[in-house]
Structure 1
């Protein structure tokens, strides 16, 4: 069987699974052929090799908006590119959050997927960034803006998009639907055929697509092809867990959703084998893990449980829950890995902590974040109750103290959080405002009345460079510390995203794990004091091999006596390695 015949057959099987219960106006073979044609896959393509890791220990992804750093009279994407080159050369990949024309939600309500927001720059600017670093782009696949041409045509009842949106009836049983918002699910919309009630998982400006219509799938495959041509090599599938809807169902994590992701992966990897798919599924941990499939779905999944659990450890001084979770996490098989982060443009999600943190722990965590200036966003449960959904706060402020209140250890605690995250199995993602030590933006919060705005500051380049050139400023110290950590991390083969990881048992104040390189030549014992007390680390509990030479990679200090007891200062981390690369 030829490569093309095999691809055609595989796509037909996937499409048959997706549309098994749907009458579509195109034959499955014809649809498969059309998708192949759109992706420009030819008979000369290679069969993708399974279980291949398209990443290494050198990969660090920075998360940023296109206008997180601005300079008067210059396109923000140009400013961003120059700033990265000047100050963030340690970063080899960048996730530019939605850079398209939009109407709300800071870019996630897309008006036109095929254009770059003129206020940011052009496709040439996007491609210029992609020419120097791996570029990650959002594929906002669940919904679009109510101001898009597609939705305008839906309202007119004619033209491209008039049948792209999911509707239901007000008297349908929608009580089981799971969603992260408190607004009403259905949006009444006048059309030539009468009032239609459009499904809106997130807001009434974000109208959900109806993937039962294969034309919607065709449109997104066209979009993917355009992004590949522009240099995008990592696709973040935004809110993809909600993609397929069934009235009377929870309408989350449905089998058809998983099959759509598998189909998109099949197309993408035949077009360009080293492209990565990351699914953004802010849901309980066990559900999140299913998006790996059998190494045939997402290449990476967000480690959404890490931020709340790590912050909980650092404000309580106990790693109990963090350690339990890490012990329960399955090692990612080759061809898959975790995407680790502790801060992003969104808040710190609490749903991924459900079942991992006790309710009273979550309550304490929420109360502490409020004391540090954070906002709390809620969702409506299936019982109609309001429940905290995410904590909105800058990470630097979130870690300025403990449950006892603010203290003098904020900087050390903040750096400790990153030493833990950078050493864990997976690819690290660091928010630009973490790299810069940005604080809560109360002015933006007041101006927008949106809780998430508190962590979406926009820096003026001149003011930022003034801060970064002042060695005494928090911003300069943070960037220096994190740059040093990244430079050390990226030189260690034991920090390959798929290198072996085992959890250590060193009590509740010391959080530790062991990494071993895939060739077994390097071991690193990563141990952090998560408390505000000086804590003893008994080196002999690590079972270091006496014939090896050991060194703390972070301080450069050799471990002369493997029977010694080392005192770890509050929030100090050691990376004890037998090889210094």
Structure 2
């Protein structure tokens, strides 16, 4: 620590305890901060660090004492978010409980499920509709008016902490709404704020960039640049014409987001979901995604948070190929220094692929090829989320499984849109790109797994198979290792909601088909095993409760993907000092008999399946796997 920095800290912090704590963290993380901002901002780095120190001190002084205590507790237990009792619930506040105050009345419901992490999508003030489901932010320091106030949020975070539930907030990094104050000032001619964005006098540079850029929403937002009449300039707009991309090469933008993050961290936000993080850096001749500067910027932001509010986590919303995704958790110089969490999109895609094909061999190959994460980080594992399903199956993985990549992706789109013979799914095609053949899918978990059709046909056997598919999917998400994300309504097997077409705000975006309002009438019957909704809730609750008793499912442990002797069956092993766990997942509606020698060879001499609570008979000669079976096996001892 420089003499100048030490003097500034001593002057700012009168309390000896506060000063010692801040100095210790600053000494630990300032090198990471300086290295990353030097990499991005070059000769401006020292000036930027000098500007950052007073900002960090101001927010540290304002940080409430109970949050400082939480900082200390989590510093002493850095794996708190990796424990086997972690479970995330993901929902839109207004569709789950109307507003932030309404969430209070539903905390017992979340507690019954065992939720320890609550992601309320998106809470910050957006532009008027259309606003990309709330992700076109107009004011980063204001809670959405329909959800409540800043005071409501603080009261909620306090109540959540009392129940040991962490709150996750969306933070859109790549762009702001064109109504945001920065964009308004830019249009009015303010040069400082014009430099917050990427604008061009003519199409020369935009056309050069477009040669290598992808289109995110080709149906309703083709191209990546929009002409602004008031400025007489082209504006970079990756997602929509009213979402202006930020210029992260301008260090003032970095400083703005430091203040935003620390502001909400001091209000009790535990996790920031870094939305659209892959897009924040631009370079000619590339697709402007996943560039190295993205990870330098994340490391810098994380270092700031580690100094001021170390109880806070970062979750990277990077839905990219595995070899690029792993960098969001850290590789090389960034190992363990960037995001703490990242979405395991590949696992989600492979679950749906295996259910459609009744074959887990592609999943086996894809997961075996997946890079190993840092031990200090965790995957966010999930079956569904608020977005569409894109078929991120690589040609290389497909070839290893004896498949043609493009052909398999087309099969999955056909299957889950209900256009493949014998499909049980009821989904909608989202954003078809005729140039690339890409067709993503919208639909609720239950409808994609066949429950909608089964209920229409009043076929109890098909209803049973649908619930079994869904429970199998969640068993794998819970058993793979990470923080399992439970998307609102999945626990009740809620179906597609086609009323979205009646809303002018939602009608053009069919992703709202799987964003229903919570059906509390159905929820009241969640303990009734005679209904498919009750079967799903009770079955999922049992899996969650079983998971909490198994230290093998701590996210710091590795997941070994074993070679399976039956194509329909995925076999995983979770090593642990207290005894390994082996898992079996049957992705077909047929009974399977898995050779028993795998248990003998791997030392499972007293095998107990924790999901069913039964011991396996080693003398049987095989492991019985009923349709869509899921087994978590350890030695009884």
TM-score by length of 2: 0.82
Cα distance 1:160–1:228, how it changes in 2: closer, same or farther (>3 A)? Answer: farther
Cα distance 1:146–1:464, how it changes in 2: closer, same or farther (>3 A)? Answer: farther
Question: Equivalences for 1:122-141 in 2 at 5 Å?
Answer: 122-127=149-154, 128-129=156-157, 130-131=160-161, 132=163, 133-141=165-173
1:39, distance to aligned residue in structure 2 (A): 4.3
Moved more, 121-130 or 195-204: 121-130
Contact 2:186 / 2:193 at 8 angstroms: preserved in 1?
yes
1:137, distance to aligned residue in structure 2 (A): 1.2
Contact 2:34 / 2:300 at 8 angstroms: preserved in 1?
no
Distance, in Å, in 1 between the alignment partners of 2:619 and 2:558 is 23
**More helix by proportion, 1 or 2?**
2
Name 1:297's counterpart in structure 2. Answer: 338
Match of 2:611 among 537, 542, 554: 554
Cα distance 1:24–1:473, how it changes in 2: closer, same or farther (>3 A)? Answer: same
1:267, distance to aligned residue in structure 2 (A): 0.9
Contact 1:285 / 1:353 at 8 angstroms: preserved in 2?
no
Name 1:239's counterpart in structure 2. Answer: 276
Match of 1:376 among 429, 446, 449: 429
Name 1:92's counterpart in structure 2. Answer: 116
Distance, in Å, in 1 between the alignment partners of 2:116 and 2:621 is 38
Verify: 1:498 aligned to 2:569, yes or no.
no
Name 1:274's counterpart in structure 2. Answer: 311
Contact 1:68 / 1:80 at 8 angstroms: preserved in 2?
no
Match of 1:261 among 254, 275, 298: 298
**Gapped runs of 5+ residues in structure 1?**
none
Cα distance 1:460–1:511, how it changes in 2: closer, same or farther (>3 A)? Answer: closer
SS at match of 1:40: helix
Verify: 1:540 aligned to 2:566, yes or no.
no
Verify: 1:77 aligned to 2:122, yes or no.
no
Contact 2:568 / 2:587 at 8 angstroms: preserved in 1?
yes
1:24, distance to aligned residue in structure 2 (A): 6.2
1:12, distance to aligned residue in structure 2 (A): 2.9
Contact 1:51 / 1:333 at 8 angstroms: preserved in 2?
no
Match of 2:485 among 429, 437, 440: 429
1:471, distance to aligned residue in structure 2 (A): 4.2
Cα distance 1:176–1:203, how it changes in 2: closer, same or farther (>3 A)? Answer: same
Moved more, 152-161 or 250-259: 152-161
Cα distance 1:367–1:50, how it changes in 2: closer, same or farther (>3 A)? Answer: farther
The Cα RMSD (Å) is 2.9
1:26, distance to aligned residue in structure 2 (A): 8.9
How many pairs does the alignment contain? 562
**C-alpha distance after superposition, 1:291-337 (max 9, x if no partner):** 12211111122111112211111121110110111212233232112
Cα distance 1:79–1:511, how it changes in 2: closer, same or farther (>3 A)? Answer: same
Question: Equivalences for 1:309-388 in 2 at 5 Å?
Answer: 309-351=350-392, 353=394, 355-357=396-398, 358-371=405-418, 372-378=425-431, 385-388=435-438
**Gapped runs of 5+ residues in structure 2?**
2-22, 63-67, 399-404, 419-424
SS at match of 1:555: coil
Question: Equivalences for 1:119-518 in 2 at 5 Å?
Answer: 119-127=146-154, 128-129=156-157, 130-131=160-161, 132=163, 133-158=165-190, 161-168=193-200, 169-172=202-205, 173-174=208-209, 175-182=211-218, 183-191=222-230, 194-293=231-330, 294-351=335-392, 353=394, 355-357=396-398, 358-371=405-418, 372-378=425-431, 385-388=435-438, 390-400=440-450, 407-408=462-463, 409-445=465-501, 447=503, 448-461=507-520, 463-468=521-526, 470-504=528-562, 505-517=564-576
Cα distance 1:354–1:239, how it changes in 2: closer, same or farther (>3 A)? Answer: farther
SS at match of 1:115: strand
Distance, in Å, in 2 between the alignment partners of 1:5 and 1:134 is 28
Contact 1:41 / 1:271 at 8 angstroms: preserved in 2?
no
Contact 1:537 / 1:568 at 8 angstroms: preserved in 2?
yes
Name 1:16's counterpart in structure 2. Answer: 38
1:538, distance to aligned residue in structure 2 (A): 2.6
Distance, in Å, in 2 between the alignment partners of 1:457 and 1:209 is 32
**C-alpha distance after superposition, 1:128-161 (max 9, x if no partner):** 2442311111111111112222222222123984
Contact 2:170 / 2:274 at 8 angstroms: preserved in 1?
yes
Moved more, 28-37 or 180-189: 28-37
Distance, in Å, in 2 between the alignment partners of 1:34 and 1:160 is 22
1:120, distance to aligned residue in structure 2 (A): 1.3
Distance, in Å, in 1 between the alignment partners of 2:350 and 2:196 is 39
Contact 1:143 / 1:209 at 8 angstroms: preserved in 2?
yes
Cα distance 1:100–1:12, how it changes in 2: closer, same or farther (>3 A)? Answer: same
Cα distance 1:18–1:233, how it changes in 2: closer, same or farther (>3 A)? Answer: same
